Amino acid sequence: MSAIQPDTIIQGDCIETLSEVREPFADLIFADPPFNIGYKYDVYEDRKAYHEYRAWTEKWMGVCVEKALKPTGSFWIAIGDEYAAEVRLIGNALGLHLRNWVIWHYTFGQNTKRKFARGHTHLFYWVKDPRNFTFNDMAVRIPSARQTTYADKRANPKGKIPDDVWSFSRLCGTFNERVQWHPCQMPERVLERILKVSSRPGDLVLDPFSGSGTTCVVAARLGRPYIGIDISEVYVESSRRRIADTLAGRSLTTEIAENPELLRPQRRVRRKPKGEIQRPTLW
C-alpha cells in the first residue's frame, strides 16, 4: 500500500494520494464530499460548474473503487439532492452493487420562506461483490414496534435491523461533540452505525474527505484502523487533536436519539429578560 500508514490523516488531494496506491487496502470507505452548494471551507472552493463538479466526482469515486477498495469492501457516500442522481449513476458505471439508498432525516434544517425546508441527506451504500461483504446486523439492531408498542411475543428479542430512513439530529452548536473549526460536521452516531455494520474490529476504514475527522474519530474509538485524507492543513491538525482527545477521554459525544422527538424532555430553557422572546436551547 505505497507509503500510506494506518491510523493517520494525510494532508493532500485524495485523487493524487490514492492514485499512487499499489494494491487495494480499504475494507470500508466512507466519503462525505463537498456538495457543491457554496459552503465556506478552509481551502476548497465549493461552487464549481456542473460539468467540472461531475467530472471531479467521477475521478475521486473512480480512484476510490479502482485503487483503494478491497474486493470484499463496502463504499458509503453522503451527498445532497443536487448531485444524488449523478453519484448513483457513477456508482453504476464503476460496477458497484447498491445495497441501500438510505435517507438520513434530520432536524435543524435550513430555514426557508419559498419552499419546503430540506431535512435529509442521501447515504448510498455499495459493495464491490454482492456475495462477499461485511454486514454485521447484530451490531446495529434496534427495538422493534412489536417489542416497544405491541408487546408481541413473536418479536425478535434482539430487535430489528433499522430501516432505510435514519432519524438522527444534525449537530447544533451546543452539542458536546460540535467543533467550531469546520462548517459541516457529521454526527458520530451516524458514522458509528455505518462502521459497526460494514466493518469489523481491525478492518481498515478510509475517509477521502476527512474534514472534521468524525470518521477517523469513530474508527479509533471502535478499534478500526483508519486513514483520512484532506487538503486543509488546519482540518488535518485539528482532527488529529480531536482523535487524541477522544482516545484520552477528553472529548464528549452527544447522546443523539434516533428519534429526535425523544430529545424534547432534555431541552432546557434559558430565562430571558422581560419582553424578549424565549426559545428552547438544546443541551
Q: Which three cell numbers stand for residue 138?
A: 447484530
Local confidence band at 174 (pLDDT 50, 70, 90 cut-offs): confident
Handedness of CA 24, 25, 27, 30 (dihedral sign): negative
Q: At what angle do helices 50-63 and 81-93 cross, to 10 degrees?
A: 50
* pLDDT at 101 > cutoff 70: yes
Q: Average the pLDDT over each of 30-44, 74-88, 252-266 and give the range with the smallest value.
A: 252-266
The pLDDT of residue 274: 54
Q: How far apart are CA 193 and CA 199, in angstroms?
A: 10
65-86 pLDDT per residue, tens: 999 999 999 999 999 999 999 9
* pLDDT at 60 > cutoff 80: yes
- Domain ranges for the chain, please list them: 8-282
For residue 204, give every residue at least 6 positions away whose Cβ sits within 8 Å of its Cβ, in sequence order, or none: 6, 25, 26, 27, 28, 224, 225, 226, 227
Q: What is the pTM of this model?
A: 0.88
Domain spanning 8-282, CATH architecture: 3-Layer(aba) Sandwich (3.40)
Residue of higher predicted confidence among 129 and 272: 129
Q: Average pLDDT, stretch 97-104?
A: 98
Torsion (CA) 237, 184, 261, 177 in degrees, nearest 10: 10
